[in-house]
Amino acid sequence: MKKIAIIGSGIAGMTSAYLLSKKYNVTVFEKNNYIGGHTATVEVEMGGQTLAVDTGFIVFNDRTYPLFEKLLAQIGIDRKPTEMSFSVHNLDTGFEYNGHTLATLFAQKRNILRPKFWHLLWQIVRFNRICKDIYHSGEYEQALTLGQFLDRHNFNDFFRNHYILPMGAAIWSTSIKKMNDFGIEFFIKFFFNHGLLDITNRPQWYVIPGGSKQYIDPLVNEFKDNIVLNAEISSVQRLQDKVKILFSNGDVQEFDKVVFACHSDQALSLLGDASEAERQVLGAIPYTANSVVLHTDESLLPVRKAAWASWNYRLDNNTDRAAVVTYQMNILQGIESQLPLCVTLNCDDAIDENKVLRRFTYHHPVFNSESLAAQQRRTEINGVNSSYFCGAYWYNGFHEDGVRSAVDVARLLDVEF
């Protein structure tokens, strides 16, 4: 039986191992002392009860996560429905709203009398209509970025800064400024497929009861004895029909194939003999760090509780900073607790240190014209020289994309899902 090394144990690595172990002898190498990657459920003691709170991967839906849902069904993991709502709170002006219902939309009562707010709602409808027309026509004007598209169609700054750019920045954990650089075709396809261009008929979103980590043990059960934690790999060398994994302690292991299920930049850094195509493709898909804090400080949420949403964007005049988003976990996971449980990205200094429960750093792929072009060159390196590359960075950067990229690799190795 051929031996395959899988580097990385996030959703892409675990799914790759789950599929490939049906036909191959797989070994998973993980540099951390735990598996799961962005699947990171934390146990919190509060009010005499233990609460399972997700801090990385949280939600999925019934429309754009077909492979992940199939995976959950195969390993016997249930799901429960949740609410996906989005609010914006502008620190400089005090303006805030939550677009979930009419009541939350006007949580700030004076919005009823604010012409600028009514114009915002009209622009949202107009934006959705234009994007859906473009999606159905297939005429994307491919060279356009989102910022150029908004210029061309005369969308004002209030719409940009209080709706579409914060929403995109929250989804991809990037800055408002960098959102302007997203390719319009990539953006429209994503928003259309996720129902974000519809006021109604949106997909149903779900969480995993007990936290997302519940799927890890059943997913890795068949190969759990072949997982190596704290694996300090120094480099990977490809020989004729063989792969050498070199470790920091001097050990060397040989395999027939290697699957890089780590981030694109990590894969490139491990390749001691990277080809020109590998350097160009992987080097064009960078990652950016995002700080994540689990806390109970409700000052990171909108002032009015009626405006609290599942995702809450904290807006100021700094468009260069990474998205400041607070996930309200009581809403998302249906958790009842004495204090609000919040997960905030990129706003460490504003959180009361006495209310901090845990701190993390997660990395997310950057999507711009260079990285989107690199995605189209995947076949130049995937399956070449006994090497395979999987990860959410090949698609939209989410859990479904990690599974999808693992299914792609498995098919190249004659394993069907």
Residue 301 lies in a domain: yes
DSSP strand E in 209-355: where? 227-228, 233-239, 242-247, 252-255, 257-260, 287-295, 311-315, 325-328, 342-345
Of 326, 343, 365, the position where a domain reaches its end is 365
The mean pLDDT value of the chain amounts to: 94
Sorted by sequence, the CB contacts under 8 Å of residue 275 that are 6+ apart come out as 381, 384, 385
Distance CA 240, CA 392 (A): 29
Residue 77 lies in a domain: no
Q: What is the CATH number of the domain that holds 26?
A: 3.50.50.60
All residue ranges of the chain with pLDDT < 70 are 142
Residue 330 lies in a domain: yes
Whether residue 15 contacts residue 219, with contact meaning beta carbons closer than 8 Å, is answered with yes
Distance CA 260, CA 251 (A): 19
Distance CA 412, CA 146 (A): 34
Residue 50 lies in a domain: no
Distance CA 274, CA 269 (A): 9
3-state secondary structure of 108: coil
Distance CA 326, CA 345 (A): 6
Residue 342 lies in a domain: yes
Tokens 């075709």 belong to 185
Q: Is there a single domain that holds both residue 111 and residue 190?
A: yes
Residue 139 has a pLDDT of: 85
Length of the chain: 417
Q: Is there a single domain that holds both residue 11 and residue 123?
A: no
DSSP state of 395: T
Q: Is there a single domain that holds both residue 325 and residue 275?
A: no
Residue 142 has a pLDDT of: 67
Q: Is there a single domain that holds both residue 167 and residue 275?
A: no
CA 378 to chain centre: 20
Distance CA 203, CA 373 (A): 29
Distance CA 237, CA 214 (A): 35
Q: Is there a single domain that holds both residue 168 and residue 259?
A: no
Q: How far is CA 392 from CA 10, 225, 264, 403, 408, in A?
A: 10, 25, 10, 8, 12
Residue 67 lies in a domain: no
Q: What is the CATH number of the domain that holds 192?
A: 3.90.660
**346 backbone dihedrals φ, ψ, rounded to 5°:** 60, 40
- Burial string for 218-244 (b: 16+ CB within 10 Å, else e) reads ebbeebeeebeeebebeebbbeeeebb
Q: Is there a single domain that holds both residue 171 and residue 103?
A: yes
- What does pTM read for this prediction? 0.92
Q: How far is CA 133 from CA 127, 140, 194, 248, 311, in A?
A: 10, 10, 16, 54, 28
Q: Is there a single domain that holds both residue 261 and residue 394?
A: yes
Q: Is there a single domain that holds both residue 330 and residue 189?
A: yes
- What is the span of the domain harbouring residue 93? 85-201+287-365
Q: Is there a single domain that holds both residue 159 and residue 145?
A: yes
Q: Is there a single domain that holds both residue 95 and residue 186?
A: yes
Q: Is there a single domain that holds both residue 276 and residue 252?
A: yes
User: Looking at the 3D structure of the chain, how many domains does it have?
Assistant: 2
Tokens 């996560």 belong to 65
Q: Is there a single domain that holds both residue 319 and residue 333?
A: yes
